[in-house]
Amino acid sequence: MKNLQKRLLVLTALLTMTPVVWAGDWHYDNVERVVAIADIHGAFDAMTATLGKAKILDDDLNWSGGKAHLVVVGDIIDRGPGSRRAMELLMRLEGEAEAAGGRVHVLFGNHETMPMTGDLRYVSDAEYAAFADDEDLAERSRWLKLFAKRNGSDIDVVRARFNKKFPPGYFAMRRAFRADGRYGSWLLQKNIIVVINGTAFVHGGLSPAVAKLGLQGVNGKLKSDLAEYVRVLARLMDAEILLPTDSHYDYGTILKNYLPSFSDKAETLHDVKAAIRLEESELLSTAGPLWYRGNVVCPEIVEDYRLDDALAAIDARRVVVGHTPTPNRKVLQRFDGRLIEIDTGMLHSYYKGSGNALIIEGDTLSVVNQSADEPGVPMEHPRHVGRRPADLGADELQELLVQGNIVSIQSEGGTTIATVQKDGNSVRAFFERRQGRGVYPDVAAYRLDKLLELDMVPVAVVREVDGRDGSLQFLPDNSFDEVERSSTGAGAGAHCPMMLQWDAMYLFDTLIYNEGRSPSRMDYDRSSMQLMLSEHDQAFLAKKGRPRHLANAPLEVTRSWREALAGISDDVLEETLGDVLDKRRLRALAARRDELLATE
């Protein structure tokens, strides 16, 4: 957020605190050099090239990092062909690093938990093939027989379907990821979060669950839940109540419908109940630290205080995450450097990125790429409201709307849509005529959104169109409105929870006194379910209080909102919005700001 001085004071206080040494093997201080990579996804060659550039591996793939600590922030496996080779290398490097005075920290990613719990959506044929030599005919015959019985068919009838669905290596891989298997037993020794020199490393993000449980709770209770779940599933498969051919999504139904027999042991019935309970573990949910994306995708004003709370709970001053590929496939930072994003799409065939390693030496952060000779630094996370061609940044998109050629003007449902082109890029934009003398509500909404770091209002500029003075607001592709969303029930898996986005919209519409918010003026990106707010022709009215439709809405003015509102002083409003709002509207906006700040 904007209050950088306050942030520096907090960071200084954290740096001068007496280090906390936890009982678990997840807290380290005084490490001279830390190297972190994320989301290998079987890209073995890219991983080794990256670690070579980071001076962790020599040309023979042996440890050359000395006393450095290497952190692998989850997702070694799935999708790519070299998953098993990557795990084997890391297993060997653990011993070599420790002998040299260094350390290798392999952390859980969501994709590590998936084969352990039977979720095989993203396993590639090459990954199965890597286990084919470990699988014998007797093993396949056993599961074929039980598969046929489960499906009420003759073996000869289902054989072709069985062989296609469960290729050679499938059952050996399932075995290897059991709690007593080579990779399952190795992974279950790993942590979910590690803190080194005040920097936390976690796969998905520091969700509110982390703030609630703390470091010991996450690496203790949540990891214990996972270990118990994996062991219980193995026992249920040994008892043939569950089969390795069953879909992970059917486990709950199978177990809830299971009818015990007199021959069942008490331990087996206990396992059935335990599996049903543990399937709902917080660790495996989208709100858990392995799947959480809120740190990366939620607007800063929404997520800022939540991130602060989680960092405080684990005695860290910043966090490094993977899981969510960065939009430009570069290492990025948010929240004044308190969040570093290092998933740069290492598996190029799938994510179109490359391997990057974050290096932390004292207070210095640098980035090395698998192919580049010169190191770089983490870049600022770009403002990115809505999909645009060539992944244009906000400033580039603004320039296109101001300087581009208007090649067509159409009327769609009473709204004027202009198509604007520049340098081979073409976008569509809403045109809104100027309201009164010097009043451009869409532009005011966009600029205020930037001040608040709300990141919900698409780029808008002052522009004359067809001889009419007004504004153009970017109309993102691949979006749909609230009418369609509510009719389809979409949004349950939104990267930033829907309720958090709506709460932010209510506060913003109260601040700008927007009487025109309607379902058709609430758009969502289809892939991320990011909320985008458009068409503000009925906003910025010269009134106090709230718009009628928000009169009874519960508004929570969080710490982040209070800091942001306090930062938009009268002088800042005049400087930023004075050319797009008149004096009367500016005074009313300032009064509503003060009303929100006074809200308990």
| DSSP of 397-421 | HHHHHHHSEEEEEEEETTEEEEEEE
Q: Is residue 282 left, alpha or beta, with left meaning phi > 0 and alpha meaning psi from -120 to 50?
A: alpha
So what's the pLDDT on residue 297? 94
Q: Is residue 240 left, alpha or beta, with left meaning phi > 0 and alpha meaning psi from -120 to 50?
A: left
- Write out the two tokens for 513: 């006194």
C-alpha distance from residue 106 to each of 90, 101, 261, 320, 355 (Å)? 8, 17, 42, 14, 17
- Write out the two tokens for 469: 């003075």
C-alpha closest to that of 565 among 595, 533, 540, 538: 595
Residue 578: count of CB within 10 angstroms of its CB: 13
Residue 8 has pLDDT above 60, yes or no: no
C-alpha closest to that of 75 among 443, 344, 384: 344
* CA–CA gap between residue 572 and residue 211 (Å, rounded): 34
So what's the pLDDT on residue 256? 95
Given the structure tokens 């990557």, which residue do they identify?
Answer: 86
* CA–CA gap between residue 472 and residue 536 (Å, rounded): 12
**Model pLDDT for residues 357-383, shown as the tens digit of each residue:** 999 999 999 999 999 999 999 999 998
The phi and psi torsions of 412 (rounded to 5 degrees) equal -125, 105
Are 474 and 386 in contact, with CB atoms under 8 Å apart?
Answer: yes
**Model pLDDT for residues 237-263, shown as the tens digit of each residue:** 999 999 999 999 999 999 999 988 888
**Model pLDDT for residues 518-549, shown as the tens digit of each residue:** 999 999 999 889 999 999 999 999 999 999 99
Are 80 and 45 in contact, with CB atoms under 8 Å apart?
Answer: no
Rounded (5°) CA angle 447-451-453: 110
Percent of the chain exceeding pLDDT 90 equals 86
Residue 159 has pLDDT above 50, yes or no: yes
Given the structure tokens 């009367």, which residue do they identify?
Answer: 584
- Write out the two tokens for 591: 């009064």
- Write out the two tokens for 576: 């930023």
Band of pLDDT at residue 24, cut at 50, 70 and 90: low
List Cβ neighbours of 196 (8 Å cut-off, separation of 6 or more). Answer: 28, 29, 31, 34, 69, 71, 105, 360
C-alpha closest to that of 150 among 236, 241, 238, 58: 241
Radius of gyration of the chain (CA): 27
**Model pLDDT for residues 176-198, shown as the tens digit of each residue:** 999 999 999 999 999 999 999 99
Across 122-218, the runs of DSSP E, i.e. the strands, are: 193-196, 199-202
Given the structure tokens 């972190």, which residue do they identify?
Answer: 36
Residue 221 has pLDDT above 60, yes or no: yes
Q: 2-11, 70-79, 180-189, 400-409 — which is least confidently predicted?
A: 2-11
Q: What is the DSSP string of 6-67?
A: HHHHHHHHHHHSPPP--SSS-EE---S-EEEE---TT-HHHHHHHHHHTTSB-TTS-B--TT
C-alpha closest to that of 335 among 368, 361, 366, 299: 299
* CA–CA gap between residue 337 and residue 11 (Å, rounded): 11
**Model pLDDT for residues 54-112, shown as the tens digit of each residue:** 999 999 999 999 999 999 999 999 999 999 999 999 999 999 999 999 999 999 999 99
Q: What is the DSSP string of 459-520?
A: PEEEEEETTEEEEEEEE-BSEEEHHHHHHHTTTTT-SS-HHHHHHHHHHHHHHTT-S---GG
Contacts of the segment 543-551: beta carbons below 8 A, 24+ positions apart: 543/513, 543/588, 544/588, 544/591, 544/592, 544/595, 545/513, 545/592, 545/595, 546/510, 546/513, 547/509, 547/510, 547/513, 547/514, 547/515, 547/517, 548/515, 549/515, 549/517, 550/506, 550/509, 550/510
Instruction: Give the type of residue at 227.
Output: A
**Model pLDDT for residues 477-512, shown as the tens digit of each residue:** 889 999 999 999 998 888 899 999 999 999 999 999
So what's the pLDDT on residue 414? 78
**Model pLDDT for residues 583-597, shown as the tens digit of each residue:** 999 999 999 999 999
Residue 2 has pLDDT above 70, yes or no: no
So what's the pLDDT on residue 15? 38
| Three-class SS state of 232 | helix
Position with higher pLDDT, 325 vs 411: 325
218: which DSSP letter? I
The reported pTM is 0.91
Residue 526: count of CB within 10 angstroms of its CB: 16
Q: What is the DSSP string of 532-553?
A: EE---TT-S-S--S--GGGTT-
Q: How many CA atoms lie within 13 A of 154 on its CB side?
A: 2
